[in-house]
Amino acid sequence: MRNFPAFIRSFKCPSTSFIILCNGFSVIVKKFAYSSMVVMNSAKQGTSVWNSVIQNYLRCGKLDDARRVFDETPSPDVYLYTMMIAGYSRNDRLYEALQLFYKMPVRDVVSWNSMMKGCLDCGNLDIARKIFYEMPERNVISWTTIINGFLQFGRIEMAEVLFHKMPSKDTAAWNSMIFGYCSHNRINDALRFFKRMPFRNVISWTTMISGMDQQGNTDKALFLFRQMLDSGMIPTSSTFCCVLTASAKISAFNQGVQLHAHLIKLGYVFDAFVSTSLITFYANCEKIENCSKIFQENLHINVVMWTALLTGYGLNNKHEDALDVFYNMIKVGILPNQSTFTSALNSCSGLEALDSGKEIHGRAIKLGLDEDVFVSNSLVVMYSKCGNIHDATTVFNNMSSRNIVSWNSIIVGSAQHGCGVLALEFFDRMVNAKVQPDGITFVGLLTACSHARMLDKGREFFDLLTRDASIEVKSEHYACMVDILGRSGKLEEAEEFIKIMPVKANSMVWLALLSACRVHHNLEVAKRAAQHVFDLEPHSSAGYTLLSNLYASAGKWNDVSHIRWMMKHRGIVKQPGYSWVTLKGSKHRFVCGDRSHPLNDKIYQKLDLLGAKLKELGHVPDQSFALHDVEDEQKEVMLSFHSERLAIGFALVSTVEGSTIRVMKNLRVCGDCHSAIKLISKIVGREIIVRDSSRFHHFRDGNCSCGDQW
């Protein structure tokens, strides 16, 4: 004790501070981080000082300092060795852990078990197995640890062999096997073991219920829960959480409500996990008012519960409320976590609110959470959906780790912005990074080819897709391929392609063909495609609108009238077109000929001015896009005030000169507006980004990124 090294006498580590005073044989350790004070007098107690010093170094992750103290410890005991070894394994320094382990003068079963567990934590099953076979004696923990190890590495057969060899199997070992089977999609084996086990505890039931649910057997999971109650087993809060999650998944509203009543009786409603599951359950059942009630009734609201509420609002398309929850949470001093940011950013995407998205991005950076893969993925989606593919790309390129969602988000985003080459570049990088593409990747690639009119590349990707047995070819893929063929003017080939499709074409596929007919003015194919759309989806207005526009552009007003009559006769209402601009968190919405905006006069003045300039530049309004039953002069007036132009007018009078304008539209932008906006971008010298129902158009200096086909 007298030989305490100098560096121990006073040292600091990030989370705890100690002052160790050596006073003869007595040592006083003051732990400021914890309020305890330990006073020790004898040499025996001295060992615990070494222990606590090493322990605290290990807690701070200062392994080398811990080792230095360890090396100076006079005859360290088994406990100290085991602690040091565990420290190395936790920090992935298996080699040093093993070296120390084999240097131990005596080893007990705890140290053997701990070394074996350390190997597994460091991902080395082989050494763990070697240690298991070297052990002079094994207890039930040794067996369970190695069985868990085999299960963790997917070596189910080896786990089974060992399980059968295990001299006395306790419930924990049985539970491990059930959990292992469930996590490797072997639900029937799990159930077989569950039925065979001599004694089931609450963990056995909960594992089985959760496993059933995760394997998609939600009904059976709920049935099992009823069986559990009948058997007299008392569920824990984890069981309730699993059951609520299952009920949420299949929107089993009545079941969930019954459970809720049960939870109130048992007094579980104030358990944070249970309340969170209840919020998620009601959000899934579209009963968001119940979510906020549960939230408000809770006294101990933590970040998880705030996030559940925020996510719930998002799930119910109440994105403004979701963002209110986010800001309220910050107001009361709760720090958002990764999931909070992910949900909040998803709501920004839902609102296409770039300003709020940027602001939340800033907060994530401050908290150091912007590099989290889930947060980054949401950022990529948010920037791209809000019309800023440049920032989406920057976020993506700065990511330190990426998953399939990251790659898909950037590929789909680039495709929707018409940046076909960029999308293909990302795909090449994805292949180089050895990430296996999935169905969504191909939707992105095919969309990219269609918007960038890359017919050959499109065929190539479709070929690649159909040859990949692991990916199911869905209607979306066929629709994309029809779109690619159609946009390239290969309308007959597209029609033929639909006919020989292995699955029956849905309305989405025929609509893709119909849209292509509009671009290439092919009435014959259009009529046939439209008929299929009418048959498949008799109440949707999309097919009627497209065909009517086609007739209008061909000047066939009688046919236009006929379609209008059909729509009226069948009770189909055309979806009204509207456009909006989001400025400083509020949405400014316009419909055609709208005069209700507070800045109305300024907007119309601006548009009149632009109208005159457009005329000077030789822009002749294309009457076919206006309502057909009004006089020509009036048509021109109507065209100038289509919703997207009002939105642009508003953006022009209320944003800084030179800044990018972002407009969203629920329908496709009309041909006349498209050519007018091209010129407007040149007149005002600003980039105008319009997202319509089909894609993003980037208007710059008199041109559009879509190359006039959309």
The H or E element that residue 646 is part of is: helix 643-654
208 near Zn ion, rule: CB under 5 A: no
Return the number of the residue (278 or 704) whose C-beta is nearest Zn ion.
704
Distant-in-sequence, close-in-space partners of 373: CB < 8 Å, separation ≥ 6: 399, 401, 402, 403, 406
CA distance linking residue 164 with residue 601, whole number of Å: 84
Return the number of the residue (380 or 626) whose C-beta is nearest Zn ion.
626
Cβ at position 640, least distance to Zn ion in Å: 9
Query: Where does residue 409 rank: exposed (0-12), middle (13-18), buried (19+ CB within 10 A)?
Result: buried
530 near Zn ion, rule: CB under 5 A: no
706 near Zn ion, rule: CB under 5 A: yes
Cβ at position 651, least distance to Zn ion in Å: 16
Cβ at position 614, least distance to Zn ion in Å: 13
Considering only residues 62, 457, 642, 691, which one is a binding residue for Zn ion as defined by CB under 5 A? 642
Cβ at position 608, least distance to Zn ion in Å: 17
592 near Zn ion, rule: CB under 5 A: no
Contact range with Zn ion by CB under 5 A, out of 151-159, 299-307, 439-447, 666-674: 666-674
Contact range with Zn ion by CB under 5 A, out of 121-129, 338-346, 561-569, 673-681: 673-681
Return the number of the residue (283 or 676) whose C-beta is nearest Zn ion.
676
Residue with tokens 């009004």: 630
Contact range with Zn ion by CB under 5 A, out of 30-38, 120-128, 191-199, 634-642: 634-642
CA distance linking residue 114 with residue 131, whole number of Å: 10
Contact range with Zn ion by CB under 5 A, out of 123-131, 202-210, 566-574, 637-645: 637-645
Cβ at position 548, least distance to Zn ion in Å: 15
Query: Where does residue 619 rank: exposed (0-12), middle (13-18), buried (19+ CB within 10 A)?
Result: middle
CA distance linking residue 79 with residue 72, whole number of Å: 16
Return the number of the residue (532 or 695) whose C-beta is nearest Zn ion.
695
704 near Zn ion, rule: CB under 5 A: yes
Contact range with Zn ion by CB under 5 A, out of 341-349, 442-450, 607-615, 670-678: 670-678
Return the number of the residue (552 or 673) whose C-beta is nearest Zn ion.
673
Considering only residues 246, 610, 670, 680, which one is a binding residue for Zn ion as defined by CB under 5 A? 670
Cβ at position 562, least distance to Zn ion in Å: 23
CA distance linking residue 190 with residue 175, whole number of Å: 9
The H or E element that residue 30 is part of is: strand 26-31
Return the number of the residue (221 or 419) whose C-beta is nearest Zn ion.
419
Contact range with Zn ion by CB under 5 A, out of 95-103, 253-261, 561-569, 636-644: 636-644
Query: What angle is formed at CA 97 by the lines to CA 94 and CA 98, rounded to 5 degrees?
Result: 90
Return the number of the residue (275 or 549) whose C-beta is nearest Zn ion.
549
Considering only residues 62, 402, 589, 697, which one is a binding residue for Zn ion as defined by CB under 5 A? 697
Count Cα neighbours of 641 within 13 Å in the Cβ-side half-sphere: 17
CA distance linking residue 522 with residue 534, whole number of Å: 18
Instruction: Report how far apart, in Å, the C-alpha atoms of 95 and of each of 88, 149, 262, 477, 658 are.
Output: 8, 19, 52, 50, 60
Contact range with Zn ion by CB under 5 A, out of 69-77, 98-106, 639-647, 654-662: 639-647
Return the number of the residue (423 or 704) whose C-beta is nearest Zn ion.
704
Return the number of the residue (260 or 674) whose C-beta is nearest Zn ion.
674
Instruction: Report how far apart, in Å, the C-alpha atoms of 279 and of each of 31, 235, 238, 257, 271 are.
Output: 41, 19, 15, 12, 12
Contact range with Zn ion by CB under 5 A, out of 8-16, 28-36, 363-371, 693-701: 693-701
Instruction: Report how far apart, in Å, the C-alpha atoms of 156 and of each of 128, 142, 176, 324 are.
Output: 16, 17, 11, 48
Size of the site for Zn ion (CB under 5 A): 6
Considering only residues 212, 673, 677, 680, which one is a binding residue for Zn ion as defined by CB under 5 A? 673
Cβ at position 669, least distance to Zn ion in Å: 6
Query: Where does residue 126 rank: exposed (0-12), middle (13-18), buried (19+ CB within 10 A)?
Result: exposed
Rg (CA), the chain: 33
Q: Would you give the DSSP letter of residue 670?
A: P
CA distance linking residue 465 with residue 251, whole number of Å: 34
**Residue ranges binding Zn ion (CB under 5 A):** 642, 670, 673, 697, 704, 706
